[in-house]
Amino acid sequence: MILQTITPTTHDLGQFEVRRALPKKERTMVGPFIFVDQFGPAQLDIGAAMDVRPHPHINLATVTWLFEGAIDHRDSLGTFSTIRPGQVNLMTAGRGIVHSERSPDEERATGPRMYGMQTWLALPDGREEIDPAFEAVSDLPVIEDSCAKAIVIMGELWGKRAATTTYADTIYAEILLAPTGSMPIEAEADERAVMLVGGEASLDGKPLGLYELTVLAPGHAMTLTSERGGRIMLLGGEAFATKRHAWWNFVSSNKDRIRQASEDWKAGRFPKVPGDEEEFIPLPEGRPKTVTD
């Protein structure tokens, strides 16, 4: 049973598009997921690049997952990690972190590929101000047969659990269906949704719209199928009892905490990113693209 279908807001960044499904006015969260961006597929020109300058986060964890391409991640903990397909990068902001995301030099030389997901998880009550942390996990469980394959990115699905840290109950997986492939969607999570990010697929016979976030009713077992092949993301988990607020790159249960983080960023009180200290994204003057209220 489908509860809701959310059409993302598309932002054209010149050589590639970013589609934001959450947060939206009609829904702000699915489980702990409060921000869902899908970008690409795109082939950038030789010499072009993605360059997201250093910027701050609080009270959330970012999850980066690529289908194609590569991204260099640097953060204020001193982390440097090149994200590639098959590896999940989980950056826990907690009480505060700064990071940048840029195309690697070798990608710039050949024309970067851009295709993947960027999501944020709100941290649960009592854990919003934990110490910042970073992890990259590539040894992820894979469930497959001749016509279907699923990679468990976070949480437990189909009897397999990923090693990726979770702070609230979380499910996150990439599903690849070959022509005539099918896969059951487990019904255990409080909240769950699917997004078709390539090809075509149906859910219990109902076609999925490309890049739409389809929110599913809890407790209902459903099956994904594809006639010609498709790529689908499954996400969700524990429903939060306490409301979360989002403004720009900040998420918190406390609006005053977001105001404090904004003042701290404007005043230069956040730490620098080693190896990427010269540039930064300034605090927005008006209403940012990401806001819940």
Encoded amino acid at 171, one letter: I
> Is 220 labelled as part of a ligand binding site?
no
Please check the confidence at residue 15 and state whether its pLDDT lies above 90: no
**Is the residue at 280 inside a domain?**
no
| 107: CB partners within 8 A, 6+ apart | 49, 69, 70, 113
Q: Give the model's pLDDT for residue 14.
A: 77
In-domain check, residue 21: yes
**Do the strands 33-43 and 170-177 form a parallel or antiparallel pair, or are they unpaired?**
unpaired
Position 186 scores a pLDDT of 81
Domain-located, residue 156: yes
pLDDT at 105: 93
Residue 47: its pLDDT value, please?
Answer: 87
- The pTM for the full model equals 0.96
The radius of gyration of the chain's CA atoms, rounded to the nearest angstrom, is 18
Confirm whether residue 11 is marked as ligand binding: no
pLDDT reading at 188 higher than 90:
no
pLDDT at 13 over 80: no
Query: Residue for token digits 């078709």?
Result: 196
pLDDT tens-digit readout, 136-151? 999 999 999 999 999 9
Whether 293 has a pLDDT exceeding 80, the answer reads: no
Q: Which of 18, 239, 6 is nearest to 117 (CA)?
A: 18
Whether 247 maps to a domain, the answer reads: no
pLDDT computed for residue 130 by the predictor: 98
Indicate the pLDDT class of residue 180, thresholds 50, 70 and 90.
very high
135 inside domain = yes
Which residues form the domain of 146?
2-237
Q: Is residue 157 over pLDDT 90?
A: yes
The pLDDT score that the predictor gives to residue 289 is 85
Residue 209 lies in a domain: yes
Residue, of 230 and 12, whose pLDDT is higher:
230
Contact 93, 60 (CB under 8 A): yes
Q: Which CATH number is 181's domain given?
A: 2.60.120.10
Residue 98 domain flag: yes
At residue 43, the pLDDT reads 92
Q: How many domains does the chain have?
A: 1
245 in a labelled binding site = no
- Residue 265 placed within a domain: no
CA distance 64 to 81: 11
Task: Tell whether residue 128 is among the known ligand binding residues.
Answer: no
114 with 39: CB under 8 angstroms?
A: yes
Segment 5-12 mean pLDDT:
94
pLDDT tier, 291 (very low <50, low <70, confident <90, very high otherwise): confident
